[in-house]
Structure 1
Amino acid sequence: MKTVKLGKSGLKSAPIIFGGNVFGWTLDEKKSFKMLDELFERGFTTIDTADVYSRWADGVSHGTSERIIGKWMKERKLRDKITLITKGGSGLQPGGPKDNSRDYLTGTVKDSLLRLQTDYIDLYFTHFDDEETPVEEALEAYQKFMTSGEIKHIGASNFSAERLQKSITVAAEKDLPAYEVFQPEYNLMVRDKFEGKIKKICSENNLGVIPYFSLASGFLTGKYRTKEDLEGKDRKMFTEKFLNQRGEKVLKSLDQISEKHNISQAGVALAWLIKRPGVSAPIASATKSSHLKSFSEAIEVSLSKEDMEILNKASETE
């Protein structure tokens, strides 16, 4: 499979990164192992996770996604063949205070290394910004781990343009490690969190960009078109907000182009992201083997200029 560069980090990835939030949440350990095996066989060897993935799921213990990935890599003896991404700094409760203090991040990195059963993490993200903590404090925490080789590269996620730029500036001024990859929420339904100032900063500083929620929590698969379609679904809280006139336009455009190319709506939505300026590789998840077909479709399809214009126009905000 062809690979793409993640900015100036030197890291390479398949054109789609697998989102490990499903491990320990919608997939138990046995099913997670099966999915990981298939991903590896298909050439998708970059895995994105976080210390909080599965922590907030009912009845699931803290760090379950990392623990499953770590156990799988150890049993399969594949650590050196996986590009491993994880994150810290989210704090203890969903929606609660974030914590990027030196002491907190030092603890989260050590805990992640233990759960992942590895002596190094390829790419470690500050998951959310903590505006009460100076940006250099997080970078200073990472510097020790990078000196020891326990973290190879660092990235930022969910930062404002101002704080991302400040982090880059301070890193240069104080000779600290600099963020090399940015992870925004970005898809056909959510464009404003990346396009604009953030995109400009990433471009000017050659940051890799790996968007999450690439399929808008499943909305862009076309499965959820009414409130009834979402009843009893795990992702209802993330997806219900897209059931509006703009959402209908986007789904209609996906239907049109998926029919034209004879591929799934998810394949079209991922292909749109792959082709968007500034994007290195989108992050996407799957819970069934059949879902991975859309990954291959997205990589293989060639969307025309007209296809992209149809999708761009449908997803414009007024």
Structure 2
Amino acid sequence: MPAPRAASFRPAVDVLRGSLIGVVEVIPGVSGGTVALIVGVYSTLIASASHVVRGALALTDVLRGRGPARAMEHFRAVTWRIVVPVLIGMVVAVIAGARILAPLVAENPVETRAFFAGLIAASLLVPIGMVGRAWSWRLVLVAALAAAASFVLSGLPAGQVADPPLVLVALAAAVAICALVFPGVSGSFLLLVFGLYETTLAAVNDRNLPYLLAFAIGAVVGLGSFVGLLRMLLDKHPAVTLAVATGLMAGSLRALWPWQDSTGSALPPGDDLWGVIALTAIGAAVVLALVAMQYRLADGRSPR
């Protein structure tokens, strides 16, 4: 009985997972790929995205008179029963997050950064655990170098472009979307660095169709170009890839130091220290609860 009952709730749980991924995608410094890893759908999404891209490329066989068989084989390999609910949750969460969560972050920056810092810090346990006994001093060095790179990137000054050309929007989207499939890199933070974060949120809220279309085209091109490479790395060099992800996640914590000035420079802790510590602990607890939920759904197996 427990197994069928869990299966009946699976679509709703996958919508919730997609919502969590979508919500953090509007928060600079927090990686949607990290949350996908935490909630246990990362490998499924990467594999499915790879098949969608390869299937789309294989559609050229129809123009060559070879038929759609190869393309359909890739499309059938997509785990649609998981991908569709996750995508629905992501889209709804991004739209809602642009209206609700973004102002919340703007009005309560210290508190929200503290919460998400706890989330990311606890989520380090996920890739560390997936590497498992394969950890060696070489992998630790790889993780340290990735952490240093992420730390430097997180400290880059952010600007703002009020009326960007659509070509720039597409190029920025092509780069930022890669963060969705690689843990530890925040797509929203990259948009912040490019000066397009607030502009993109405004485009979502205002339903700026030309802007959103340019963004979507860039995202599709970027995802199609990157996902195959990432899938190959995960298949052939999983330990190294996960070590890099661990380092990127650790280094990105710089962007989530709770006390910052208007330029993003770190400030010393304020009088709200204990409240910030409590929120950080709550964020960590949320991650641990999500990981526990994933283990339960997977019948005790490690996250996919």
TM-score for the superposition, normalised by structure 1? 0.26
Identify the structure with the greater strand proportion: 1
Identify the structure with the greater helix proportion: 2
TM-score for the superposition, normalised by structure 2? 0.27
